[in-house]
Amino acid sequence: MYVYVIENGTQIGTQKGQILYIYTNEEAARKAMSALKFQAAKFNEIKEGIADNDHEPGVLEGFWYGPKGGNTCAHGYRLQRIWAYGK
């Protein structure tokens, strides 16, 4: 079974580190990402994509946000699909 994890960077310039949400449904996870993007866009500039050095498998999407006219890669979120299994 796959789980879908939304993470936020724990330091400036990263998109991973702090797990915010875990979903078992991809559609619900993508809706949550859209809601996060909508909230961030209210006061920030949005840049689509994931970090160049992020080569972990299963990363589906991500975005960066930062002050308008400033560093648009200051903070970020990403959505990753992870295989989870139990006994």
Q: Which helix (H) or strand (E) holds 32?
A: helix 26-41
Q: What is the pLDDT along the chain (87 residues), one digit of tens a residue?
A: 999 999 998 777 788 889 999 999 999 999 999 999 999 999 999 999 998 888 889 999 999 998 887 777 778 999 999 999 866
Specify the pLDDT at position 48.
Answer: 93
* Structure confidence at residue 86 (pLDDT): 66
Q: Give me the residue label for tokens 């840049």.
A: 47
Distance, in Å, from the CA atom of 76 to the CA atom of 25, rounded to the nearest integer, reads 22
Amino acid 32: pLDDT = 98
| 3-class DSSP assignment, residue 37 | helix
pLDDT score at 38: 97
